Structure 1
Amino acid sequence: MVVSSWEESVTNSINTVYLLFSAYLVFIMQLGFAMLCAGSVRAKNAMNILLTNVVDAAVGSISYYLFGFAFAFGVSSDSNPFIGSHFFALKDIPNETYDYSFFLYQWAFAIAVAGITSGSIAERTQFSAYLVFSFFLTGFVYPIVAHWVWSSNGWLTASSSSELLFGSGAIDFAGSGVVHLVGGIAGLWGAFVEGPRVGRFDAFGKPVRMRGHNATLVVLGTFLLWFGWFGFNPGSFNKILVPYVNTTDQGNWTGIARTAVTTTLAGSTAGVVTLFSRRLLIGHWDPMDVCNGVLGGFVAITSGCAVVEPWAAIVCGFVAAWVLIGLNILALKLKFDDPLEATQLHGGCGAWGLIFTGLFAKKEFVLQVYNSGQLDVPRPFGVLMGGGWGLIAAQVVAVLVIVGWVSITMGPLFYALHKLKILRISIDEELAGLDVSSHGGYAYVDHHEDDQPLRYADYARLKEGSRA
């Protein structure tokens, strides 16, 4: 009994440390996204976008603690679903352990969603609007989707021991749909309600390129996001030391390295395809486009990273690159302005990731991950791998309901903010830049008098003059 207790203690300790380390990696993605956003906007809005990234994390933390976690994983009848601090009551859920480490890991996912949406409405949004939508998105909209797909009691889950949708449930292992599609569709409605930035399209409707001001930040941010994705995807196993039922020498650890490999291959393939494709389309090599291509591949593989072969991850990344390129072309034709391509990247590639999993999920890996290695319990897998139509049907349903849910919640929210005149800044403020009009000065100090940016006092005088 002493040995058994000691072994259990060691196992729990290793699982906890692994989950916490993964949570730290996912949180580092906030730093990567802040750098990516700052480099992708014009210099006059750099301070604003950095502040919104901090606010998304801080406000999202409080919202997710108070409401979000309970909405996502709360089922106990004796806990108030509106008070997340009662999450210890969730310990009665079978086959799932909810503790501080699990909460922290899920929190890191939740605050990433608001960051995605912030990119879509950058350079033209009032700061107060960020506070409102960040709180609502992380406290209510995202957690409901997380409950559907990731809770053992969710109607879309692939992990429940009870009846599954189409005998399969939707496989979204690390969040192509739950995280990225949610953030992308929320950003779609925000950018649509606000409209394009001033000067984004000329009088004839042709797009005018507004280049980000710092390619160095974009590239460094991309590499930090790449690093963080190794917590995002492999970390989603949650417990590393979980032996499979029908085996003596296998467990979650057998799939963790494979998941890291599929993640790497999908992102790398998407980056290379974007590099050469954009070279043919625009005539030069563009590091900004390549970085977004890499991220698009990561977004797409996030759904099926644990249940596909490495060669399939290459297919995933190849298609993801063209999904991103195609949606960017379509966005310009529709005069849709998303400064960071967040809607196209996270929304489009996230949707493709869910469909990809329904096409290429391998039977052996699906049984390992979702049946705990019980190979004698049949379930659908990828339709192109001979697994029938159950999984792909569940994946399509997941895409449709996520798009629908986010649309009926975030669309009206952004419209209400617009009608209340607390969504978009004025034209004068936008032309001056959010840094000087809302935050008291620019992020960068220029010591050359002739090149000195517009100071706040100058902006105020111009604003008063335009009113007169």
Structure 2
Amino acid sequence: MDGSITCSSSDLALFSSSNTTALASFLCSRFSTISNTFSDASYAINNTYLLFSAYLVFAMQLGFAMLCAGSVRAKNTMNIMLTNVLDAAAGGLSYYLFGYAFAFGSPSNGFIGRHFFGLRDFPSPSADYSFFLYQWAFAIAAAGITSGSIAERTQFVAYLIYSSFLTGFVYPIVSHWFWSGDGWASATRSENLLFGSGVIDFAGSGVVHMVGGIAGLWGALIEGPRIGRFDQTGRSVALRGHSASLVVLGSFLLWFGWYGFNPGSFLTIMKGYGGGGTYYGQWTAIGRTAVTTTLAGSTAALTTLFSKRLLVGHWNVVDVCNGLLGGFAAITSGCSVVEPWAAIICGFVAAWVLIGCNMLASKLKYDDPLEAAQLHGGCGAWGLLFTGLFATKAYVNEVYPGLPERPYGLLMGGGGKLLAAQIIQILVILGWVTATMGPLFYVLQKMRLLRISTEDETAGMDLTRHGGFAYAYHDEDDLSLKPDFMMRKVKPTNQTPILSGEGSPPSHVQV
């Protein structure tokens, strides 16, 4: 290790008893070396923790991709997979050029950052490259949410435009407001806190999930529902995704990544609370945050399971996965400042919020293939309210130190100031995203750049826009088969149902 230290009695023997100044200088130099070594180790440990968390959050992109692929019909699989790849790629460049500067370019005003464009003069005393990577992973997560709402009917060029705009401008402004030390509603401001508290949105129920969900809401509203989603009488027709297996795989990958999303938002791990040398410190808070995240998601999944069984009469794994993710989206705001038992309440209510939003969407003839606006927008808003109700005094003071009388949860005896700040956040996010993404989608629609043609939508975008299907339905070397064989259904010639244990399946099939 650089700065290694050796010390022996012969070193001290060089100094006479009268030469105390030289002896003191010698000892101080050794202590300085020790201090610098520990300081370097602390930076290395904290940056390694943040980088590992960034990798986990980025792995959520794979989860999004699998979830989206399983939730759409097979004829649009290539399209939705490509959009997920480009959310990360286009988002990487736009966040590098503009997004990070708008979000964390301090010193700045309360509305928008103004330094570090293209990472100029970076790293700085306030942030290193690991922090940029972590925040970029969050930005592309918001774009991924939006892509699910407008799946199966959106032109490819529209994805590139909205994804770059969302990650380079819309999302960074919101993250500056609530996460930057200069943001007008940030809980980390040194003075003039909103309602004496600031907004507590620890890992982004509002900043990430509501932004992505509201953006997707406007995109889906302006485009309109998919062909066949509602019949001529207005009744809802289920256009089921083609692979529940991919939905489950994506959900577990997102669950795994959420342990970087929520606990990773502490940014550092090597920090004690109170006196030194105790077992209790920020590492404990990180573990507690992982526990509250787990409990909220698990409770939401089970609540959805039994609720949907009562409502529709069967057990549906896709609904359970969406409920699970709704619980995660809700707990993301208050995961670090609530007790584990409160996380169970959060997940229980989140499941019903999602069910209610889906019922409302069906009545309003709103079509969102992944329930993204309902899940991330609705459950994200509930998560902000939940934090205003259940944040505990001790945990708020640990996570946001320096203000002993900071307001906390209303139901925990902390008054209503924090809840008021959370409500303000919901309103300003709704207003900001509506004012920016709504006009963008509207202009794209007027320019005929948003929705694909009826013919292309019916045939599927994989065939009409991406050169072929995601799955090989036959041997490509067998030229005797017609290309359109790939999407035909195989049906038995004998339509008589076969009872269990009776008869045998028909020996011929027709194409």
**Common fold, TM-score beyond 0.5?**
yes
1:391 aligns with 418
* Candidates 331, 346, 352, aligned match of 2:382: 352
1:114 aligns with 143
Tell me, which stretches of 5 or more residues in structure 2 are unaligned?
1-31, 476-480, 489-511
Contact 2:303 2:351 in 1 (8 A): yes
1:165/1:76 CA distance change after superposition, 3 Å? closer
C-alpha distance in 1, partners of 2:222/2:120?
36
* Candidates 330, 343, 352, aligned match of 2:360: 330
C-alpha distance in 1, partners of 2:124/2:85?
32
SS at match of 2:486: coil
C-alpha distance in 1, partners of 2:113/2:288?
40
Matched, 1:71 2:102: yes
1:150-173 CA-partner distances (Å, limit 9, x unpaired): 000101111122121000000000
* Relative contact order higher in (CA < 8 Å, ≥ 6 apart): 1
Q: How many residues align?
A: 447
1:293-336 CA-partner distances (Å, limit 9, x unpaired): 00000000000000000000000000000000000000000000
* Candidates 191, 213, 224, aligned match of 1:195: 224
C-alpha distance in 2, partners of 1:242/1:83?
27
1:85 aligns with 118
Q: Which amino acid aligns with 2:209?
A: H
C-alpha distance in 2, partners of 1:69/1:313?
31
C-alpha distance in 1, partners of 2:352/2:369?
19
* Candidates 350, 365, 388, aligned match of 2:395: 365
Residue 90 of structure 1 and its aligned partner are, at CA, apart by 7.5
* Candidates 479, 482, 486, aligned match of 1:453: 486
TM-score, normalised via structure 2 length: 0.85
C-alpha distance in 1, partners of 2:121/2:331?
32
Contact 1:70 1:87 in 2 (8 A): no
Q: Percent identity?
A: 67
Contact 1:76 1:89 in 2 (8 A): no
Matched, 1:438 2:438: no
1:327-368 CA-partner distances (Å, limit 9, x unpaired): 000000000000000000000000000000000000000000
C-alpha distance in 2, partners of 1:76/1:397?
24
Q: Which has the higher helix share?
A: 1
| Bigger shift: residues 441-450 or 48-57 | 441-450
Matched, 1:17 2:48: yes
1:368-422 CA-partner distances (Å, limit 9, x unpaired): 0001xx5x72110000000011100000000000010000000000000000000
1:125 aligns with 154
1:161 aligns with 190
SS at match of 1:141: helix
C-alpha distance in 1, partners of 2:78/2:371?
20
1:428 aligns with 455
Q: Which amino acid aligns with 1:289?
A: D
1:244/1:88 CA distance change after superposition, 3 Å? farther
1:80/1:167 CA distance change after superposition, 3 Å? closer
C-alpha distance in 2, partners of 1:452/1:313?
51
1:61 aligns with 92
Contact 1:118 1:187 in 2 (8 A): yes
Contact 1:69 1:87 in 2 (8 A): no
Contact 1:121 1:187 in 2 (8 A): yes
2:3 aligns with none
Q: Which amino acid aligns with 2:44?
A: S
Alignment of structure 1 residues 89-100 onto 2, 5 Å? 91=124, 97-100=126-129
1:84-139 CA-partner distances (Å, limit 9, x unpaired): 224546836xxxx3110000000100011110000000000000000000000000
2:68 aligns with 37
SS at match of 1:453: helix
1:460 aligns with none
C-alpha distance in 2, partners of 1:453/1:201?
27
1:58-109 CA-partner distances (Å, limit 9, x unpaired): 00000000000000001247x99386224546836xxxx3110000000100
Contact 1:320 1:349 in 2 (8 A): yes
Contact 1:74 1:90 in 2 (8 A): no
1:410-438 CA-partner distances (Å, limit 9, x unpaired): 00000000000000000000000010010
Alignment of structure 1 residues 135-150 onto 2, 5 Å? 135-150=164-179
1:9-43 CA-partner distances (Å, limit 9, x unpaired): 11111001000000000000000110000000000
Tell me, which stretches of 5 or more residues in structure 1 are unaligned?
456-468
C-alpha distance in 2, partners of 1:87/1:272?
48
2:505 aligns with none
SS at match of 1:91: coil
C-alpha distance in 1, partners of 2:172/2:486?
42
Alignment of structure 1 residues 395-410 onto 2, 5 Å? 395-410=422-437
Higher CA-based Rg: 2
1:379 aligns with 406
Contact 1:362 1:381 in 2 (8 A): yes
1:231-275 CA-partner distances (Å, limit 9, x unpaired): 000000001112346766343212000000000000000000000
Residue 445 of structure 1 and its aligned partner are, at CA, apart by 1.0
1:266 aligns with 296
Q: Which amino acid aligns with 2:37?
A: W
Q: Root-mean-square deviation (CA), in Å?
A: 1.8
Residue 183 of structure 1 and its aligned partner are, at CA, apart by 0.1
C-alpha distance in 1, partners of 2:196/2:171?
25
2:323 aligns with 293
C-alpha distance in 2, partners of 1:282/1:406?
34
C-alpha distance in 1, partners of 2:310/2:91?
41
Contact 1:75 1:90 in 2 (8 A): no
1:51/1:208 CA distance change after superposition, 3 Å? same
| Bigger shift: residues 45-54 or 159-168 | 159-168
Contact 2:67 2:251 in 1 (8 A): yes
TM-score, normalised via structure 1 length: 0.93
2:439 aligns with 412
